Amino acid sequence: MIIRERQDDIVMITQDNHARIAGVFAANWKNSFFNSSKKRNSVELAINEHDRGWIPVDCTPFMNDQNSLPYTFMYFPTKPKLIFYKNGIDEVEQMDNYAGILCSHHYARFAANDSNEESQAFVQHEENRQRKLKEKVKEFDPESFQFHYDLLNFCDNLSLYVCLNEPGTAKVDEHQFYKSGIPIPTTFSFLGGDYSAIHWQNKQTVMLSDFPFEQPTWIEIKQKVVSKQKIIECGLVAAYKDAPIEIVPVSINKIPRS
């Protein structure tokens, strides 16, 4: 779950909705900026589905008793989180081998620096999975794969930027992850620089300096605004279930050159 805390409410966005937003960015990516277009369908599938392991979890959110807020994807306990990761990758692999490799690589990197036994076992399992799947993929090219993974990561970051910040947030108040902008992978030589400048122009418009899309791109944030008082009265699960889904349209546009 992705959350934003307000004074009296908690804004809650599912990981799957965040992933679908990332998928919209991938679908609108310029053809001229896409490395190895033969794999495009598989790459877009991976980006759309990369967080599907969180779907059953986000249907019944958990409360973090350390801060009295719902658990977010960043602070969820490691052992169950690794199970969700694996289940999601299993499902993506059944859809498409190449997409499975991308998602496996994505989550293995999350766990790689964690020295606990469960994380290292997960990394080893995923490395074995990737090796077997690469044997099934025709014309697997490491250079193209790196670009495709970087594309997943860039779209993931851009979607997180939109979801983690209140629409219309001033730059100084943005989430700490993105105060410097969106990281630009080294494989994106067509963009240049280390970070793409980004800011909210208003509550429905995000401006991006290095623009890799065919045209201004519209996305929809599906969120629930859950009352803190309602959580106290009936618990998180019931309060979340009863809250209506709000749809927030947002346009991603290019910052004009001065």
Are the beta carbons of 181 and 195 closer than 8 angstroms?
yes
Distance CA 12, CA 10 (A): 6
Average pLDDT over residues 90-109: 97
Q: Is 254 helix (H, G, I), strand (E, B) or coil?
A: strand
Name every residue whose Cβ is closer than 8 Å to that of residue 211 and which is 6 or more positions away in sequence: 253, 254, 255
Q: With contact defined as beta carbons under 8 Å apart, do 44 and 29 qualify?
A: no
Q: pTM for this structure?
A: 0.95
Cα end-to-end span (Å), the chain: 39
Please answer whether residues 187 and 35 qualify as being in contact, where contact means their C-beta atoms are separated by less than 8 angstroms.
yes
SS3 call for 129: helix
Q: How many domains does the chain have?
A: 1
- Host domain of residue 242: 2-254
pLDDT in tens, 54-87: 999 999 999 998 888 999 988 889 999 999 999 9
pLDDT of residue 258: 61
The 8-class DSSP code of residue 31 comes to G
Residues in contact with 132: Cβ distance below 8 Å, sequence separation at least 6, in sequence order:
none
The 10s digit of each residue's pLDDT in 102-126 is 999 999 998 888 889 999 999 999 9
Mean pLDDT of the chain: 94
